[in-house]
Amino acid sequence: MIKKIAIIFITTVLLSSCFTDVIDGQEIKTIDAKTLESYLNNNSTTKYANVNSTSPLPIIGWVGITRTNLTIENFQRMKDAGININISHYPHVDSVQKALDLSLQVGIKTLIDCPELTNNTIETVNRFKDHPANAGYFLKDEPSASEVTYYAKLAKLIESIDNTRFCYINLLPTYAGPEIFAASTYNEYIQRYVTEIPLKILSFDHYPIIGSTIRFDWYKNLETIKDESTKSNIPFWAFAMATAHGSYPITDINQLRLQVFSNLAYGAKGIQYFTFQTPSKNDYHMGPIERDGTKTVVYEYVKIINEEIQALSSVFSTSEVKKVSHYGDNIPDGTRPFTTSPSNIKSLKIRGGNALISELKSEENSFFLIQNNNLFNEIGIKIDTDERTFVISKKGYIVPASVIDGEFKLEPGDIAIFMK
């Protein structure tokens, strides 16, 4: 059964230009302003140029199509959700072969993950190295620093046979603690993996939403990963929690947007969902695909957000993050306060809550991204730009920023991108 969040109380008293709702006991602040999309939709955006997203971002589904679900229909559902890389552990190379063949049929890829990759490495890599649906080689999830030497040797062996793909290792988050990642500091832990192993992708997981709060160290973790990614010139992939379990709540579209677009604002070049199918263990529930194979509302959320990501993918895939800051009071631990705007942003005022500000640059354009990184509150934005500035719609249309003639609001997790 889909758990629906019920509005248990709505006040009709206008307070500081905000309506206040209460959802499951949590006070919700709603800004009395038009949405950004309403400004854009009133101006027939389809007459404008599109950002032409010809470089789709990798979007990965963990616990994707498992051994007992290897059918063309299930792979098509994964593709329809906007996921283009399948991750699932297979108990034998023959299951991997079937997964690769089905992936090829629908136009996605699969990471090689089976026991033979470690106990019969040379034969296994040679078997799959020329398969067009081979995304790469899955080595380990959340290893400690004590395992670096072993995985460095394994990765180098695989690379000696197939250096056209990548070896995938997913690293621990900051909240694991030194006793788990087996290094004196988190930076030391990350640095050992990026310097001692020929990684082509730096992957880490950090699931920030616990109950009705955001982990205090999430953005600090992103700051570290961004810095290490830049120094080592290795792109990073980050996660969004899509399946409820333990203290991780049933997700909604705002929570997913908050995770996904914060990661992209920090420079992530790939987005991973944990999980695509609900695992058949512990108290996991309400993933995009339930244990019985049915779609949930989370599937629809993931599909919508992936469409938004790919409509904007050329912004994120071709740009380099130049600066990330946080607007408002009580900014997250380990981050920088917003102080000055680029020259094309004449003024910026935000009310109702904090915001994440990311400044990105490609060879041809500069981008100014504003994200509402509050878990519940809407925020109001009043921005004044020069005549050379454009705003990019969620469908990728490039519209003169002058169509915004007043304050606009962003829902939790949502973004606005201005381009020069």
**Mean pLDDT along residues 239-243:** 98
Is it true that the peptide bond before 54 is cis, omega within 30 degrees of 0? no
Can you give the pLDDT at residue 48? 84
Q: Which residue has the higher pLDDT, 384 or 10?
A: 384
Can you give the pLDDT at residue 6? 31
Can you give the pLDDT at residue 67? 97
In tens, the pLDDT along 169-181 reads 999 999 999 999 9
Can you give the pLDDT at residue 54? 74
Whether 277 and 358 share a structural domain: no
Whether 354 and 261 share a structural domain: no
Question: Closest by alpha carbon to 177, among 219, 217, 235?
Answer: 217
**Mean pLDDT along residues 143-147:** 98
Residue 11 falls inside a structural domain? no
Residue 8 falls inside a structural domain? no
In sign, the C-alpha dihedral spanning 71, 77, 79, 82 is negative
**φ, ψ for residue 251 (rounded to 5)?**
-80, 155
In tens, the pLDDT along 91-142 reads 999 999 999 999 999 999 999 999 999 999 999 999 999 999 999 999 999 9
In 125-235, at which residue ranges do the beta strands (DSSP E only) sit? Answer: 134-141, 167-171, 202-204, 209-210, 213-214
Residue 396 falls inside a structural domain? yes
**φ, ψ for residue 8 (rounded to 5)?**
-100, -15
Domain with 273 in it: 59-311
Whether 124 and 238 share a structural domain: yes
Residue indicated by tokens 């593709």: 79
Whether 46 and 142 share a structural domain: no
Cβ atoms of residues 360 and 315 within 8 Å: yes
Cβ atoms of residues 88 and 64 within 8 Å: yes
**Mean pLDDT along residues 263-289:** 97
Residue 174 falls inside a structural domain? yes
Can you give the pLDDT at residue 161? 98
Spatial separation of the C-alpha atoms in residues 59 and 111, rounded to whole Å: 12
**Mean pLDDT along residues 219-235:** 98
Can you give the pLDDT at residue 55? 81
Residue 173 falls inside a structural domain? yes
**Mean pLDDT along residues 282-297:** 97
Local confidence band at 41 (pLDDT 50, 70, 90 cut-offs): confident
**φ, ψ for residue 416 (rounded to 5)?**
-130, 135
Question: Closest by alpha carbon to 114, among 133, 100, 131, 130?
Answer: 100
Whether 277 and 384 share a structural domain: no
Q: What's the mean per-residue pLDDT of the chain?
A: 92
Cα of 4 vs its chain's centroid, Å = 24
Least confident of 11-20, 243-252, 264-273, 332-341: 11-20
Residue 64 falls inside a structural domain? yes
CB-hemisphere CA count at 13 Å for 21? 13
Can you give the pLDDT at residue 16? 32
Least confident of 46-60, 346-360, 388-402: 46-60
Is 236's pLDDT higher than 80? yes
Report helix, strand or coil for 134: strand
Whether 173 and 247 share a structural domain: yes
Residue 29 falls inside a structural domain? no
Least confident of 5-14, 88-97, 101-110, 243-252: 5-14
Spatial separation of the C-alpha atoms in residues 395 and 340, rounded to whole Å: 29
Cβ atoms of residues 229 and 236 within 8 Å: yes
* Domain termination residue (choose one: 311, 328, 352): 311
Spatial separation of the C-alpha atoms in residues 296 and 71, rounded to whole Å: 19
Report helix, strand or coil for 248: strand
Local confidence band at 27 (pLDDT 50, 70, 90 cut-offs): low
Question: Closest by alpha carbon to 403, among 48, 52, 50?
Answer: 48
Q: What's the CATH number where 168 sits?
A: 3.20.20.80
Q: What is the strand order of the sheet 320-327 is part of?
A: 320-327, 355-361, 366-371, 415-419, 390-392, 398-400
Is 8's pLDDT higher than 50? no
Whether 215 and 245 share a structural domain: yes
Is 336's pLDDT higher than 90? yes
Residue indicated by tokens 């929570």: 255
* Domain termination residue (choose one: 311, 334, 355): 311
Cβ atoms of residues 310 and 53 within 8 Å: yes
State how far the alpha carbon of 26 is from the alpha carbons of 32, 180, 273, 297, 375, in Å: 19, 34, 26, 22, 10
Query: What's the domain count of the chain?
Result: 2
Whether 260 and 331 share a structural domain: no
Two structure tokens written together for 416: 């606005």
β-strand pairing of 408-410 with 34-35: parallel
Local confidence band at 7 (pLDDT 50, 70, 90 cut-offs): very low
Residue 364 falls inside a structural domain? yes
Question: How would you class 127 by CB atoms within 10 Å of its CB: exposed for 0-12, middle for 13-18, buried for 19 or more?
Answer: middle
Is 317's pLDDT higher than 70? yes
Longest Cα–Cα distance of the chain, Å, equals 70
Helix (H) or strand (E) holding 190: helix 186-196
**φ, ψ for residue 277 (rounded to 5)?**
-100, 140
Q: Which residue has the higher pLDDT, 25 or 54?
A: 54
Spatial separation of the C-alpha atoms in residues 86 and 74, rounded to whole Å: 11
Cβ atoms of residues 5 and 12 within 8 Å: no
**Mean pLDDT along residues 383-411:** 96
Whether 101 and 66 share a structural domain: yes
* Domain termination residue (choose one: 287, 311, 335): 311
